[in-house]
Amino acid sequence: MIWKGYILSKQINLKGNYIKVIRQSTQETTYGGDQGFFKTNNSNSVDRKKNQLGCGVVALTDTILYLLIQTSVKANTPTGSYVNHGLISEESLKIRNKLTQEEYMTYYNKVYDFVGGVSGKFGANGFQLAVGFNRLARKNGWKLRIRWGLSASKLYHRIEEMLQKDVPVILCIPTMLRKKDKEKSITLFQNEQKVATVNAHFVVITGIVTEHQETYLQISSWGKKYFINWKEYEQLIHNVFLGTILGNILYIK
């Protein structure tokens, strides 16, 4: 892989193909789930809340689906037996990791219920997502458990560790609680260009690329692949109120 004109000296990626969803409106294939699937004009609807504040549940849904499908691929077992007995169709199984939007939304809604929905202001937080995952794991007999990371010093090492074990990493770009921090955010890169800035948002890390002491996290957000600069993220969480607590990962072991 080439990044900014250089052949990368270091690269870590998930071993399997990341979750893909076929959008109903355009038939394009996404890179992960998208809370925009729930976009609606009804201002009072639950779907509107999922669209605006559902990024954490999308990240958790993607992670669970990836782990379930990869487990079935490695065990050469029909995925449907892992994903709640038929929520994923036979056609999707043939493609592997590629779901219809309806299938994805069905599974998202199940995860949404397990985490207890999202609040009307901030969405789901990391602790809530961890509790929801562990409830679902106990119900289905999964051995994995998840907890919200609180250590900034171990953060990068844990990201590397999880990716090397073929586990997606749910990362939170923290909410800015103080007025003086409101304008602070993280830059999203796509095709080496700055395309947006964001805060108060969950993403899924699917890889790491490093060259000439610059490290970028490859992420899935809104059904697209982006990159964020690790140093920029690290500086942000150390320079905003409660940044290293709110800005961290769901650590799966």
Instruction: Give this prediction's pTM.
Output: 0.89
Residue 94 maps to which CATH number? 3.90.70
| Domain, as residue range, for 183 | 2-252
Share of the chain above pLDDT 90, in %: 57
pLDDT at 42: 75
**Mean pLDDT, rounded, for 228-249:** 94
pLDDT at 171: 98
pLDDT at 45: 86
pLDDT of residue 43 exceeding 80: no
Of residues 180 and 90, which shows the higher confidence score?
180
pLDDT at 87: 46
Q: Where are the alpha helices (DSSP H) in 10-151?
A: 46-53, 55-75, 90-95, 101-115, 126-140
The total number of structural domains that make up the chain: 1
Question: Over the stretch 152-173, which tens digit does the pLDDT of each residue have?
Answer: 999 999 999 999 999 999 999 9
Say which range, 119-123, 227-231, 246-250, has the weakest mean pLDDT. 119-123
pLDDT at 83: 45
Dihedral (Cα; 159, 172, 217, 10), 10-degree rounding: -10
pLDDT at 240: 93
pLDDT at 94: 47
Of residues 189 and 73, which shows the higher confidence score?
189
Give the rounded distance of the alpha carbon of 96 from its chain centre: 19
Distance between CA atoms of 50 and 240, rounded to whole angstroms? 27
pLDDT of residue 93 exceeding 90: no
Distance between CA atoms of 43 and 30, rounded to whole angstroms? 26
Question: Over the stretch 180-222, which tens digit does the pLDDT of each residue have?
Answer: 988 999 999 998 899 999 999 999 999 999 877 789 999 999 9
- The dihedrals phi and psi of 69, each to the nearest 5 degrees, come to -70, -40
Token readout for 236 is: 């942000």
pLDDT at 71: 73
Work out the mean pLDDT of the chain and round it to a whole number.
85
Amino acid letter for position 145: R
Of residues 76 and 187, which shows the higher confidence score?
187
- The dihedral region occupied by 146, where left means phi > 0, alpha psi between -120 and 50, and beta the remainder, is beta
Query: Which pLDDT band, with edges at 50, 70 and 90, does 6 fall under?
Result: very low
pLDDT at 53: 92
Say which range, 78-87, 95-104, 152-161, 194-203, has the weakest mean pLDDT. 78-87
